Amino acid sequence: MDYSKYEQKAHELRNKILDLTTNAGTGHLTSSLSCVEILTALYYGNILKYDPKNENWPERDYFILSKAQGSPLLYTILADVGYFPESDLKLFAQKDGKLSVHLQNSVPGSEILCGSLGCGYGIAAGLALGFKKNRTANVVYSMLGDGECYEGSIWETATFVAHHRLNNLITIVDRNYACATHFLEDELSIEPFADRWRAFGFDVKEIDGHSFEQIFPILNMTHSHCSSRPLVIIADTIKGKGIPMVENIPLWHSRPIPKEMYDEAKRELNQEEQR
């Protein structure tokens, strides 16, 4: 398969979120960079069913970004696919703007208010159960951060999802190994991470979260996922992926690249692309 058009889109999105966060002087750049390929596949690869012209389309699939720190990326995509004008991105977290550093349900396509970790996933479970009760075919995709999995409520939800066999909920963990201040495995390990999910009753797929060759075969089968065991995709990623100067440095977590470092970051990003 030729994934070059998705690689090109991912690169374009990385440039846009760098511009957006540096321009705003805020926003979680590195949290956004780690999940670019997965969201590119979901939104541009015919995985998610959605209609930007009809944000409340009842038959749509739901994407619940539980790690709402990825909002610079999600908002960039929502604007790009037509949920709202791209000009709104220029006012990200600015006076008279509509977009905040975290998710607001008032923003078309964002579905929920989110920012506090450990919450979106339970809502995704409720949605999936509601669609089962309503006998509708909507699929719910929820992306968690690995650091978010420190929250006890994630495991309350995992218990619930497995018991109710919510196979219409696809759980994706952005396993970028870093929180706001530290690497997970150094200071408070969550391993054996895949085994934890297996023990809760999930089917686990572990992939390279930056490889479309690995992402698409899994996501392509999610609409027909009929195992009674719900699916979790653990996507191994790099926090800050694409801009080496911020890659894998936890303390860049909530920092945008300052204006004086912007040119260098841009250069790195575009060199990476050529590489």
Q: Which residues contact 93 (CB under 8 A, 6 or more apart)?
A: 24, 26, 27, 99, 100, 101
Q: Does 85 interact with another protein (rule: CB under 8 A)? A: no
Q: Does 126 interact with another protein (rule: CB under 8 A)? A: yes
Q: Does 153 interact with another protein (rule: CB under 8 A)? A: yes
Shortest reach from residue 153's CB to another protein, in Å: 4
- 168 closest CA partner among 142, 204, 201: 142
Type of residue found at 93: A
Site string for another protein, 239-268 (x = CB under 8 A): ------------------------------
**CA atoms of 44 and 196, how far apart (whole Å):** 31
Where does this chain touch another protein (CB under 8 A) — which range of 83-91, 127-135, 176-184, 204-212?
127-135
Per CB under 8 A, contacts with another protein among 91-110 are 105
Site string for another protein, 42-61 (x = CB under 8 A): --------------------
Q: Which of 81, 91, 113, 261 binds another protein (CB under 8 A)?
A: 113
Where does this chain touch another protein (CB under 8 A) — which range of 4-12, 111-119, 243-251, 261-269?
111-119
Alpha helices in the chain (DSSP H): 4-24, 29-33, 36-44, 71-81, 87-90, 120-134, 152-163, 184-187, 193-200, 212-220, 259-274
- 243 closest CA partner among 5, 49, 19: 19
Where does this chain touch another protein (CB under 8 A) — which range of 13-21, 85-93, 153-161, 190-198?
153-161
Please report, to the nearest 10 degrees, the dihedral formed by the alpha carbons of residues 142, 147, 152, 154 taken in order: 10
Q: Which of 112, 207, 219, 231 binds another protein (CB under 8 A)?
A: 112
Q: What is the 3-state secondary structure (H, E, C) of 165-216?
A: CCCCEEEEEEECCECCCCEHHHHCCCCCHHHHHHHHCCEEEEEECCCHHHHH
Q: Which of 63, 83, 131, 216 binds another protein (CB under 8 A)?
A: 131
How many other C-beta atoms are found inside a 10 Å radius of the C-beta of residue 187? Answer: 10
Closest to another protein by CB, 58 vs 85, is 58
The CA angle 134-138-140, to the nearest 5 degrees, is 115
Q: Does 125 interact with another protein (rule: CB under 8 A)? A: yes
Closest to another protein by CB, 15 vs 153, is 153
Q: Which residues bind another protein (CB under 8 A)?
A: 105, 111-114, 116, 118-119, 121-131, 133-134, 152-153, 156-157, 159-160
